[in-house]
């Protein structure tokens, strides 16, 4: 029914080797692979990468539970978007199901329970979905800088910084894609984005942690440690 795609390019500039960087003793990508295993709706898992080292690492842990796709060189550079690789997988018939799910390896706290929640939402209303999270601070205050960072210009014309209406309770919540999960129909591959005609699946801030810098890696490690500590505590209760 659904093919899960885990893309893991090896050439990160901001955090080298981030997709296999150890988090609590395990390569980062393992947490994402764990999250898509064990769901009856997901009939195939494709791990796509430009690194034979990554393939061997995943194969040693997951074996035949995962299919492995070594990217052609033209789909391996840092100029290539993940969507380009998804389109290649669909148009070449490597993805043979009607639906596919993309999960980035950099969201380790998007666990099996989160994926289950998205699948349940999709079952009740079978439409394309993307995961999102609310902004921690009202985006209505956003502004750009110029003149050597001395001058500012609000992003929206009705900015509270101009109107004076700065009470947070009067400002509607805003949300953003968190990049954790995209569930799409293959017929939509020509849309050029993963958002057109899609519904939203909301995740909380902890589940949405994205590891793209050393600071974010430390935050993910801390949250994962607390999660494991709490799980161990409750499992030991009489």
Q: Note whether 150 and 126 are same-domain residues.
A: no
Ranking 56-70, 157-171, 214-228 by mean pLDDT, the lowest is 214-228
Q: Is pLDDT of 149 > 50? A: yes
Q: Are residues 143 and 156 in the same domain?
A: yes
β strands within the chain, DSSP E: 2-7, 22-23, 26-27, 42-49, 67-70, 99-103, 129-134, 143-146, 151-154, 175-185, 199-202
Q: What percent of the chain stands above pLDDT 70?
A: 86
Residue 17 shares a structural domain with residue 68:
yes
- pLDDT for the residue 56: 97
CA distance 227 to 24: 12
Residues 194 and 163 in one domain: no
Domain of residue 225, residue span: 2-133+176-230
Q: Does residue 237 belong to any structural domain of this protein?
A: no
- My answer on whether 126 and 67 are in the same domain is yes
pLDDT at 233: 37
Residue 81, pLDDT score: 85
| Mean pLDDT of all residues in 3-14 | 82
Residues 68 and 147 in one domain: no
pLDDT for 221 equals 55
Please report the pLDDT score of residue 24 as a whole number: 81
| 159 and 42 within one domain | no
The reply to whether 34 and 146 lie within a common domain is no
Q: Which residues pair with 39 in a beta bridge?
A: none
Residues 92, 15, single domain; the answer is yes
Q: What angle do CA 24, 7, 194 make, to 5 degrees?
A: 120
User: Which CATH number does the domain housing residue 124 bear?
Assistant: 3.90.550.10
50 and 167, same domain (yes or no): no
Give the pLDDT of residue 129.
97
CB 66 within 8 A of CB 7: no
Q: Is residue 238 part of a domain?
A: no
236 within domain boundaries: no
Cα–Cα distance list, 227 to 104, 110, 146, 233 (Å): 21, 12, 42, 10
34 and 97 fall within a common domain: yes
Q: How confident is residue 236, by pLDDT bands cut at 50, 70 and 90? A: very low
Mean pLDDT of 39-43: 98
- Nearest Cα to 131, choosing from 109, 153, 146? 109
**Does 15 fall in a domain?**
yes
Q: What is the pLDDT of residues 195-207, one digit of tens each?
A: 989 999 999 988 9
Q: Assign 93 a pLDDT band (cuts: 50, 70, 90).
A: very high
pLDDT at 227: 55
Q: Examine the pLDDT at 74 and tell me if it is beyond 60.
A: yes
Q: Are residues 128 and 209 in the same domain?
A: yes
The tens digit of pLDDT for each residue in 153-183 reads: 999 888 888 988 877 777 888 999 999 999 9
Q: Specify the pTM.
A: 0.84
pLDDT of residue 232: 39
In a domain, 11, yes or no: yes
Pick the more confident residue, 83 or 218: 83
């Amino acid at each position: 029914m659904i093919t899960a795609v885990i893309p893991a390019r090896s050439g990160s500039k901001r955090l080298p080797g981030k997709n296999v960087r150890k988090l609590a003793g395990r390569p980062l990508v393992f947490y994402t692979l764990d999250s898509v295993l064990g769901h009856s709706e997901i009939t195939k898992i494709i791990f796509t990468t430009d690194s034979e080292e990554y393939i061997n690492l995943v194969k040693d842990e997951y074996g035949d539970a995962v299919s492995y796709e070594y990217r052609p060189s033209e789909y391996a550079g840092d100029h290539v978007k993940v969507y380009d690789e998804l389109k290649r997988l669909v148009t070449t018939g490597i993805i043979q199901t009607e639906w596919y799910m993309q999960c980035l390896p950099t969201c380790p706290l998007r666990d099996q329970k989160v994926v289950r929640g998205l699948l349940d939402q999709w079952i009740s209303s079978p439409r394309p979905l993307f995961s999102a999270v609310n902004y921690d601070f009202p985006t209505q205050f956003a502004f750009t800088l110029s003149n050597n960072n001395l001058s500012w210009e609000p992003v929206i014309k009705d900015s509270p910084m101009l109107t004076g209406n700065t009470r947070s309770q009067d400002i509607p919540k805003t949300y953003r894609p968190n990049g954790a999960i995209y569930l799409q129909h293959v017929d939509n591959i020509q849309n050029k984005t993963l958002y057109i005609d899609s519904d939203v699946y909301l995740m909380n801030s902890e589940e949405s942690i994205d590891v793209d810098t050393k600071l974010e890696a430390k935050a993910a490690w801390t949250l994962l440690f607390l999660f494991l500590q709490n799980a161990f505590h409750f499992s030991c209760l009489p």
